[in-house]
């Protein structure tokens, strides 16, 4: 069921229009629908996509080499060994080419695509405790999350991301005017003490204040799985639980993976089906609620020899970044074209696959799910687990 790039537009449009096959799951009678008029509505990772933000790589640079960057991205290196400065111009240009192809592919399906403003990430900014330069707008998934009609700015761990959502300010104002609820988490101080005395083999910011990236969260309707890792402390999940209220359940995933975000560890494909990373999870360590669903384990990542040693020495993402799939609907998913065995596995599960390429996903640390933020999906807020 892998679509060719010649005929994919017609076939994928038909996929979205059709009622997708779903495994039976436990659901309550009450279902909350989107707020009339609001541009923001997304309750999970798979409902049919209507509007999405896709990242902008212009002016991208490595995050400033400080303790926050060290913990979140390079825990195995000293500050002096962390790459610094702008990403190579060739990388920026090729990434923009790839993202433009991504945009065109999604727009062919009738999906509205928005892009963040270009930001001067080379500029220095500061608090009274530290100063930093910026990072990038390549991964909108990291700095904001949508829960129902709420769009939430998260208290990111890396100091270089402190002003990143300003690139989205015009969009956020527009979404608020449409009726969406716009929430910003308490701005973290990100003091050195937040990162002191932690085990760098299991790096997790101390619970001095809420600190987490939006991509630490996997949304499954009323249930959210929160990864405690280098980019999210437990207090961050507690804050999220407090702000969302009693209807939502936040489940902590701890002690399985410390590197960064959840979306190269777990990919929720549709109700009843989840893709898991076998190097980080097994049947015993899966989140308890996911044991109610069918779990398929990703095959090993392929074609890793496309990178040379010099390139790899600067990469932010792991090999598993190519597992980072993005769903257009419950039966259609975008996957990196370099992973034919994974594509075949998803095909066996009845999924149509759009194979696309992000040539520098490993260097920049972001695959198809990372470079997107689904703003509006057509669906209802439901409970999928007992």
Catalytic residues: 213, 261, 370
Distance of alpha carbon 16 from alpha carbon 14, whole angstroms: 5
Looking at 78-196, list the stretches that DSSP marks H as alpha helix, in order from N- to C-terminal side: 89-107, 169-177
Distance of alpha carbon 383 from alpha carbon 380, whole angstroms: 10
Per-residue exposure over 167-202, b if at least 16 CB sit within 10 Å of its own CB, e if not: bbeebbeebeeeebebeebeebebbeebbeebeeee
Closest CA to 98 of 312, 277, 363: 363
353-356 long-range contacts, CB within 8 A, separation 24+: 353/1, 353/2, 353/3, 354/3, 354/8, 354/12, 354/105, 354/328, 355/2, 355/3, 356/98, 356/101, 356/102, 356/105
Contact 296, 341 (CB under 8 A): no
Strand order in the sheet with 372-377: 112-114, 49-54, 372-377
Distances (CA, A) of 125 to 35, 120, 134, 200: 37, 11, 8, 27
Contact 71, 78 (CB under 8 A): no
Closest CA to 51 of 350, 363, 328, 360: 328
- Tell me how far the alpha carbon of residue 66 is from its chain's centroid: 23
Distance of alpha carbon 165 from alpha carbon 183, whole angstroms: 12
Contact 235, 253 (CB under 8 A): no
Q: How many CA atoms does the CB half-sphere of 259 hold within 13 Å?
A: 14
Distance of alpha carbon 198 from alpha carbon 206, whole angstroms: 7
Distances (CA, A) of 207 to 189, 210, 244: 12, 7, 20
């Amino acid at each position: 069921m892998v679509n060719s790039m010649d005929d994919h537009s017609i076939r994928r449009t038909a996929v979205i229009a059709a009622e997708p096959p779903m495994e039976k799951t436990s659901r309550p009678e009450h279902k909350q629908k989107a707020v009339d008029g609001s541009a923001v509505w997304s309750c999970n990772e798979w409902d049919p996509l209507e509007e999405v933000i896709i990242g902008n790589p212009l002016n991208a640079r490595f995050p400033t080499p400080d303790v926050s960057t060290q913990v979140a991205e390079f825990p195995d290196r000293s500050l002096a060994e962390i790459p610094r400065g702008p990403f190579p111009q060739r990388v920026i240009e090729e990434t923009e080419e790839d993202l433009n192809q991504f945009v065109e592919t999604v727009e062919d399906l009738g999906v509205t695509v928005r892009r963040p403003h270009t930001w001067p990430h080379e500029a220095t900014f500061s608090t009274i405790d530290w100063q930093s330069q910026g990072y990038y707008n390549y991964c909108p998934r990291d700095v904001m999350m949508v829960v129902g009609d709420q769009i939430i700015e998260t208290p990111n761990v890396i100091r270089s991301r402190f002003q990143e959502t300003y690139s989205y300010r015009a969009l956020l104002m527009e979404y608020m005017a449409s009726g969406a609820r716009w929430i910003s988490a308490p701005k973290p101080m990100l003091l050195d003490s937040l990162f002191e005395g932690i085990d760098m083999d299991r790096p997790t910011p101390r619970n001095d204040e809420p600190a987490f990236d939006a991509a630490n969260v996997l949304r499954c309707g009323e249930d959210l799985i929160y990864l405690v890792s280098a980019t999210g402390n437990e207090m961050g999940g507690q804050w999220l639980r407090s702000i969302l209220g009693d209807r939502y359940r936040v489940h902590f995933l701890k002690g399985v993976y410390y590197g960064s975000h959840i979306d190269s560890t777990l990919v929720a494909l549709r109700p009843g089906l989840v893709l898991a990373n076998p190097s980080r999870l097994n049947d015993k360590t899966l989140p308890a609620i996911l044991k109610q669903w069918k779990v398929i384990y990703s095959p090993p990542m392929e074609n890793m020899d496309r990178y040379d040693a010099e390139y790899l020495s600067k990469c932010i993402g792991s090999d598993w970044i190519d597992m980072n799939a993005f769903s257009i609907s419950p039966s259609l998913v975008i996957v990196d074209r370099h992973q034919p065995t994974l594509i075949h596995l998803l095909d066996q599960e009845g999924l149509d696959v759009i194979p696309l390429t992000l040539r520098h996903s490993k260097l920049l640390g972001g695959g198809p799910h990372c470079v997107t933020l689904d703003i509006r999906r057509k669906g209802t807020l439901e409970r999928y687990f007992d």
